[in-house]
Amino acid sequence: MRLGRLLGIDFHVNPFFLALIALFFVAGVLDRGLIAFGVVLVHEMTHALVARHLGIPVNQVELLPFGGVARVEAELALDPVREIYVAVVGPASNLAMFALGLGLKNYGIWHESLGPFFLQCNLLMALFNLLPVLPLDGGRIYRAFRAERDGIGEATYKAAWLGQVMAVIILLAGAAGIWAGYCGLDIPVVALFLLYAATRERLASPYLFMRMIRDKHEELAREGLLPVAHLAALESMPLGRLVRPFVPRKFHLVSVLDRRHRLLGTVTETAVINALLQRGGHATVGELLEGE
């Protein structure tokens, strides 16, 4: 549902977030729901404004129960340094609001029931988002560091899988909490959405990988140069495994070796990707040298 437009950014509210607000309403604590909504809004506005400052256009943001999703994920994921900067400021904004709340309390600007909830909401939002799982901010930081070693597709897949595992753990803990009377339905709702969002990120990892390849080739054509990354692979290496360590912003050259580790030839990233699309992931890199 479209909420409105602020600073040139369209804000949409995810149905899961609406369901969470509805739970606050049914429980008779809508004021707390509105505070949670405001905390999420500030959290995501910080992401969007920093992304814009770094030269990444942001036109739309979807608000989720634990943060939000700006329509810039693919572009950010392909630039790990900028992704880290944008991801960090979300939890930082919550910690800043937590400090602001403490300051207001010390000056007597305080509400006995809503004040502690405001502090709790910001602290939980910051800590939860620092978990190293996608689609949370900590997961984006984790992916950015792993992408330089494992490749963007593999790093996304691993971080999203961790998100699915975390969601199941939270869901089970929430169910136990409801049974024991320690919490309400809000915890399972957040867990279900985390599971949904992490699954979506995991399924999108191959498309993110292909976007990385396309963007690198466009940059190479535009700028005329890219840093090179060298790999060595046995001729029997399947292309599906070979491309996993391909990283953003570097063009890969693969030295193909026989079983005795003797050099048979060199293939480029472009040749590997073209063969992958035409022959499939089970084709071997040695086949690319046949007929040369």
Give the 3-state secondary structure of residue 250.
Answer: coil
Nearest-angstrom CA–CA distance, 276 and 9: 39
Those residues whose C-beta lies under 8 Å from the C-beta of residue 85, and which sit 6 or more positions away, are 50, 54
- Tell me: do 78 and 38 sit in the same domain: yes
pLDDT tens across 4-47, in order?
666 667 777 777 677 777 777 777 878 888 888 888 888 888 88
- Count Cα atoms within 13 angstroms, Cβ side, for 20: 25
- Tell me: do 184 and 274 sit in the same domain: no
- Tell me: do 15 and 141 sit in the same domain: yes
Phi/psi at 272 (5° precision): -65, -45
User: Which of 74-78, 94-98, 127-131 is least confident?
Assistant: 74-78
Write down the pLDDT at residue 72.
58
- Tell me: do 139 and 246 sit in the same domain: no
Whole-Å CA distances, 154 to 53, 160, 167, 202, 244: 29, 10, 20, 10, 6
Render 163-210 in DSSP notation, one character per residue.
HHHHHHHHHHHHHHHHHHTS--THHHHHHHHHHHHHHHHHHHHHHHHH
- Angle (CA) 85-213-133 rounded to 5° is 40
Reply yes or no on whether the pLDDT at 1 is more than 70. Answer: no
- Which tokens in the block code for residue 201? 């990120």
Reply yes or no on whether the pLDDT at 291 is more than 60. Answer: no
End-of-domain residue from the set 156, 191, 218: 218
- Tell me: do 125 and 231 sit in the same domain: no
- Tell me: do 133 and 267 sit in the same domain: no
- Tell me: do 66 and 118 sit in the same domain: yes
- Tell me: do 172 and 246 sit in the same domain: no
Write down the pLDDT at residue 120.
92
End-of-domain residue from the set 195, 218, 241: 218
- Strand 2-6 relative to strand 9-13, pairing: antiparallel
Maximal CA-CA distance, the chain: 81
CATH number of the structural domain spanning residue 254: 3.10.580.10
- Tell me: do 91 and 182 sit in the same domain: yes
- Which tokens in the block code for residue 271? 């040749």
Write down the pLDDT at residue 4.
66
- Tell me: do 108 and 246 sit in the same domain: no
**Full residue range of the structural domain in which residue 275 is found:** 227-289
Those residues whose C-beta lies under 8 Å from the C-beta of residue 270, and which sit 6 or more positions away, are 217
pLDDT tens across 40-68, in order?
888 888 888 888 888 887 777 777 666 66
Region of 207 on the Ramachandran plot (φ > 0 left; ψ -120 to 50 alpha; else beta):
alpha
pLDDT tens across 238-256, in order?
998 898 888 888 899 999 9
- Tell me: do 120 and 194 sit in the same domain: yes
- Which tokens in the block code for residue 244? 């996993």
Contact 234, 259 (CB under 8 A): yes
The total number of structural domains that make up the chain: 2
- Tell me: do 241 and 206 sit in the same domain: no
Strands ordered across the beta sheet of 2-6 = 2-6, 9-13, 60-64, 67-70
- Torsion sign, CA atoms 55, 58, 63, 69: negative
